Structure 1
Amino acid sequence: ARMFRLETNYRSTPNILDVANDVIANNTRQHQKTLRSLQDAFMRPEVHAFADDREEAEFIAGQILQFRDEGIPLDHIAVLFRAAFHSQALEMELMKRDIPYDYRGGVRFFERAHIKNVLAYLRIVANKDDVVAWSRVLNMQVGLGPVTVEKIIRAIRQSEGVENLSHIGASLPARAQVGWMDFLAVWQDLLDSDQTVSGLIRAVATSKYAEYLENEHPDYRERLQDIEQLAVFGERATDLSTFLAEASMQESYQATTAKGGNEDEKKLILSTIHQAKGLEWEAVFVIGLAAGKFPHERSLRETNGLEEERRLFYVAVTRAKKYLYMTYPLLASFTSSLSGPSMFIEEIGRDLVHHEGFREETSIFDDPSDDVDDITYVPDPDYGEAPPKRRGILKSIDEL
Structure 2
Amino acid sequence: VPAADGEMESRFVAQMIMRLREDGVSLSDIAVLFRSSHNAYDLEVELNRRNIPFVKYGGMKLNEAAHIKDVLAHLKVAENPQDAASWNRILQLIHGIGPKTAQDLIEWTTEAADDPFVPGDGTPFSSRYVSRLKELLGVLRSIRDPDMPPSEQVEAVLDYYQPIFEEEYAEDYPKREPDLDHLAGLAANYQSRQRFLESLALDQEAAEDDEPPLVLSTIHSAKGLEFHTVFLIRALDGTIPSRHALREDDGIDEELRLFYVACTRAEQNLFISYPMTQYRRSYGEYMTDPSRFVDDIPEKVLEPVQLVEEDAPEAVEAPDEPEQLTDGTHRPDGDANKAEPPSRPNHDPSDADGLPF
Partner of 2:263: 317
Asked if residue 209 in structure 1 is aligned to residue 161 in structure 2, the reply is yes
Tell me how large the CA RMSD over aligned residues is: 2.7
C-alpha offsets along residues 298-331 of structure 1, whole Å, 9 cap, x if unaligned? 1111231111111111110111111111111100
Equivalent position SS for 1:118: helix
| Percent identity over paired residues | 33
Q: 57, 66, 71: which one pairs with 2:24?
A: 71
The counterpart of 2:36, out of the listed 71, 80, 83, is 83
- How far is the alpha carbon of 1:168 from its aligned partner? 6.7
Q: In the alignment, what sits opposite 2:220?
A: 274
Decide whether the 8 Å contact of 1:115 with 1:226 is kept in 2: no
Distance, in Å, in 2 between the alignment partners of 1:247 and 1:155 is 31
* Residue aligning to 2:149: 196
Query: 2:227 & 2:73 partners in 1: Cα distance?
Result: 38
Q: CA deviation at 1:57?
A: 0.9
Distance 1:303 1:392, change over 3 A: same
Of 67, 81, 85 in structure 2, the residue corresponding to residue 114 of structure 1 is: 67
2:347 maps to 1:347: no
Tell whether 2:187 aligns with 1:224. Answer: no
Q: 1:179 deviation in Å?
A: 4.1
Q: What is the deviation of 1:67?
A: 1.1
User: What per-residue deviation string (whole Å, max 9, x for no partner) do you get for residues 327-347 of structure 1?
Assistant: 111001334100121111112
C-alpha distance in 2, partners of 1:162/1:104?
41
CA distance in 2, matches of 1:308, 1:346: 17
- Larger gyration radius, structure 1 or structure 2: 1
Give the Å deviation of 1:73.
0.8
One-letter identity of the residue aligned with 2:4: A
Residue ranges of structure 1 left out of the alignment (5+ in a row):
1-47, 359-390, 394-400
TM-score, reference length from structure 2: 0.77
Structure 1 contact 101–270 (Cα < 8 Å) conserved = yes
What aligned pairs does 1:282-293 form with structure 2 within 5 A after superposition? 282-293=228-239
- Map 1:376-395 to 2 at 5 A: none
Q: Work out the CA distance in 2 between the residues paired with 1:202 and 1:220.
A: 16
Give the residue type in structure 2 aligned to 1:357: Q
Contact 1:193 1:199 in 2 (8 A): no
- Distance change (3 Å), C-alpha of 1:161 and 1:173: closer
Shift of 1:94: 0.9
- Encode CA deviations 1:240-261: one digit per residue, 9 max, x unaligned: 44554x257x3442xx45xxx6
Alpha-carbon separation, structure 2, partners of 1:331 and 1:69: 31
Q: What secondary structure is seen at the aligned counterpart in 2 of 1:337?
A: strand
Partner in structure 2 of residue 396 of structure 1:
none
Alignment of 1:38-77 (within 5 A): 48-77=1-30
Q: Secondary structure at the match of 1:103?
A: strand
Provide the residue aligned with 1:326 in structure 2.
272
**Equivalent-residue separation in structure 2 for 1:326 and 1:230 (angstroms):** 22
The two structures have a TM-score, normalised by structure 1, of 0.69
> Any stretches of 5+ residues in structure 2 without a counterpart?
308-347, 351-357
Quote the residue 2:50 is aligned against.
97
* Correspondence for 1:164: 118
Q: CA deviation at 1:185?
A: 5.6
CA distance in 2, matches of 1:176, 1:272: 41
Q: Do the aligned residues in 2 keep the contact of 1:141 with 1:182 (CA within 8 Å)?
A: no
Note if contact 1:163-1:191 (Cα within 8 Å) is conserved in structure 2.
no
Match of residue 125, structure 1, among 73, 78, 86: 78
